Structure 1
Amino acid sequence: MCNVIFVILISILLTGVHGRTIPAHQQIVTTIEDKNGQVYECVDFYKQPTFTHPLFKNMSEVKRPSEYAVQGGKYRDIAFNGNGCPSGTIPLLRVNKNYSSEELKSNGPNICTAVVRTRTDPNIKFFGGEGSPSTYKPVADGPGQWSSARIKLQNGPDSIEVGWMVNPTLFNDKEAHLYVRFTAGQNGCINTQCPGFVHVGSEVPLGLIPDHYSQRGGQSYAWKFFIDQQDDGNWWVSMDDDKYAIGYWPKTLFTGLANAATEVEWGGEVSFALEEKVLPEMGNGRFPLYDTKSSAFMQHVTVVDETLHNVNPTNTEKFKSCQALYGVIDAGYQGDYFGHLILFGGPLLP
């Protein structure tokens, strides 16, 4: 009888609130809701998905969030109205658990980007990038469609990025969500869908929805993002002027990006199936103009150069992978308010 009771108790502990099985390394401590009603599972910091990766064989070397020098203070209750996850845990948004990196590649064989990027020069290295994309909610309705605005750093087969993304298949809604993404050779994924990103910040969770969306012709809102290679060699993602730390990709995850990036880019990206008749929107769904009221934009675009300072990128070029569909404008440095300004969006209406 005791054995039977023990088995039942274990079964209950390993089953989520909706009856689904939770992997042993992701057993939840509690669940909470954010301001938008999204449900997050509070998971022990050391039991987040990334720590199943072989590169974390010696867990004693991994610090808890409070031990990181770059961990900022309270972030004005951006998500949880002061009732976040318990100390020692991090929030993981409930998403489509079956969404994989392969689905990211295969569901939308047509990838369109409209970006400004640094010109490739093997003698120039970058150790970070900054940008503030205006927050919009572009329509991406078709099977496998998604739309993002992001900063991306790359070196050979490795890339890392941060921004917002509308991805109904992954997030189960049509809102824009805070996301990170990496590729390391043939592997990679969004957020914590696979081992890779170490989620440190507990008050700015991945999957966060903006409090306000920009309105075409009206008020504009933006999120400010940083990617920096810190003294520990890891690539850190942070947000806001105070650089509140969200988390990092370990240096040992990469080959090309192990030491520096060779390219930084800013702008939009969409994906859709080749047979789709209605294209997903990028930015605010309109082709860009030299007007921040009418167009989606990325302001305060900078790179971290070899002096480890954030500087205005000067040797840049525009790149569009789908020439006639989506557009991008490099407006250059526009003074202190906008800094280096990029405008992007689409599709081009017939």
Structure 2
Amino acid sequence: MAQPSILISMLFIVSSLFVTSVLSRSIPNQTIKLDKLSRIRAQLEKINKPAVKTINSPDGDIIDCVLFHDQPAFDLPELKDQKTTLKLPEWPVGYNSSKDTSTGDENIQLWSASSEECPGGTVPILRTTEQDLLRVSNIIRFGKKDKVKKRHEYAVAYASGDQYYGAKTNINIWAPKTNQFEFSLAQVWLLSGTRQNNDLNSIEAGWQVQPELYWDTNPRLFGYWTRDTYQSTGCYNTLCPGFVQTNKRITLGAAIKPISSYNGKQFDMNFKIWKDPKSGNWWLSIGSRILIGYWPSSLFTGLKSHAERIEFGGEIVNSAVNGHTTTQMGSGHFPEKGLFKKSAYFRNLYFVNSKNQYVSFPVSNLRTHVEDPNCYDIKLLSGKVFGTHFYYGGPGKNPKCP
């Protein structure tokens, strides 16, 4: 029989080995977690600027009121020395904004609907949180389109072969259901260059449902830009230096209300993007004449001059491995009979010409594109009330789109 002292010694050795083994596994894990947290905090310092006032929205958003020249855009070297006087753009002519019945007042976002607004000299910026960055796989590329090859599917109307200096349309607002790590959006694209040459310039604006970028599934006002086919330049909203926010009550990234309902009341929003003839900057406006802000001309190469292509429509990401995704586009319903109140739409499609004039798009000048009409489709039409318009969207996976 072993002596008690020997047993105690053996137990001590075994327990020491066990503790050492556990520590050797836990310490590296703790180091990795601490390293990730430190990288997250460093990234948050880049994105979030010091706030003069903070507004806690009833829908959970945190809005920071940041001094105008402290917003992310002015981290750009070419904007650092820009004069503090903001010069308003020259509006395009040829469109009667008094006839616009879209959702477009300054109470379209819940954070400002209760008369909250940022003080003079400041602009609202949606705060990025630690939880936002914990949701994504690549912290450094947060706010940028994913470089991983994912299947993007579209239902769009487009025009090319001319010089375009802006676009205008009314976009129907919905809240399509999306799967995790996928998105659904409706937007306008102004494009120059090509993907093949990696010199694609793009300005984009509309609404999107993107749970990975935001913390919920509400439709949100957004903008995006790139000048190198989404490789390294550009981002959503103000998540990198680029877009200059000017409005005090509406901000990119915050949720939109109200939302359309199937067979119920419909809501749409008038979007305008155009190049100011005086400054060369590309301005974004909603409603009749509500300026949100602008993308400086200096951000771009091809779009420094004009757009070569305009697109209107919906886009989803399909990351399903087996079969098609169930992420919806638009209302989640196809453009079929009895369209209004059932299918999502774009109405009154216009472009801006070199004389800064609105020109209605003739149907004959537009073409359409879809990947698979059994999953998502588009129907281009013309009429007295909606002008040149189209219905689009679909449910994704269904018996004809397995």
Equivalent runs, 1:1-350 vs 2, <5 Å: 22-23=45-46, 26-34=49-57, 36-60=59-83, 62-64=84-86, 68=88, 75-79=105-109, 80=112, 81-95=114-128, 96-97=132-133, 98=139, 100=141, 104-106=145-147, 109-118=150-159, 120-121=160-161, 124-142=162-180, 144-156=181-193, 157-185=200-228, 186=231, 187-231=233-277, 232-241=279-288, 243-275=289-321, 277=323, 278-290=325-337, 291-314=339-362, 315-331=365-381, 333-335=382-384, 337-346=385-394, 347=396, 349-350=398-399
Q: Secondary structure at the match of 2:55?
A: strand
Structure with more helix by fraction = 2
Shift in CA distance, 316/23, structure 1 to aligned 2, threshold 3 Å: closer
Say whether the 8 Å CA contact 1:235–1:251 is kept in structure 2: yes
Q: Secondary structure at the match of 1:212?
A: coil
How far 1:296 moved relative to its partner? 0.4
In the alignment, the residues of structure 2 paired with residue 21 and residue 105 of structure 1 have an alpha-carbon distance, to the nearest angstrom, of 19
In the alignment, the residues of structure 2 paired with residue 84 and residue 283 of structure 1 have an alpha-carbon distance, to the nearest angstrom, of 31
How far 1:75 moved relative to its partner? 4.5
Say whether the 8 Å CA contact 1:109–1:274 is kept in structure 2: no
How far 1:308 moved relative to its partner? 2.1
Which runs of 5 or more structure 1 residues have no equivalent in the other structure? 1-17
What is the RMSD of the two structures over their aligned residues, measured on CA atoms?
2.5
Shift in CA distance, 63/140, structure 1 to aligned 2, threshold 3 Å: farther
Shift in CA distance, 179/339, structure 1 to aligned 2, threshold 3 Å: same
In the alignment, the residues of structure 1 paired with residue 47 and residue 185 of structure 2 have an alpha-carbon distance, to the nearest angstrom, of 32
Give identity over the alignment, percent: 29
Deviation digits for residues 313-348 of structure 1, max 9, x if unmatched? Answer: 1211001244542111111x311x312111110126
How far 1:203 moved relative to its partner? 1.0
How far 1:94 moved relative to its partner? 2.4
In the alignment, the residues of structure 2 paired with residue 168 and residue 108 of structure 1 have an alpha-carbon distance, to the nearest angstrom, of 19
What's the TM-score, normalizing by structure 1? 0.84
In the alignment, the residues of structure 2 paired with residue 264 and residue 228 of structure 1 have an alpha-carbon distance, to the nearest angstrom, of 12
Shift in CA distance, 77/227, structure 1 to aligned 2, threshold 3 Å: same
Shift in CA distance, 196/24, structure 1 to aligned 2, threshold 3 Å: closer
Amino acid at match of 1:154: L
Q: Secondary structure at the match of 1:30?
A: strand
Deviation digits for residues 7-51 of structure 1, max 9, x if unmatched? Answer: xxxxxxxxxxx9996349711222113453421111111111111
Amino acid at match of 2:63: Y
Shift in CA distance, 298/158, structure 1 to aligned 2, threshold 3 Å: same
Deviation digits for residues 191-224 of structure 1, max 9, x if unmatched? Answer: 0111111111111111232221111112111111
Q: Which has the larger radius of gyration?
A: 2
How far 1:56 moved relative to its partner? 1.6
Which runs of 5 or more structure 2 residues have no equivalent in the other structure? 1-40, 92-103, 134-138, 194-199
Say whether the 8 Å CA contact 2:326–2:397 is kept in structure 1: no
What's the TM-score, normalizing by structure 2? 0.74
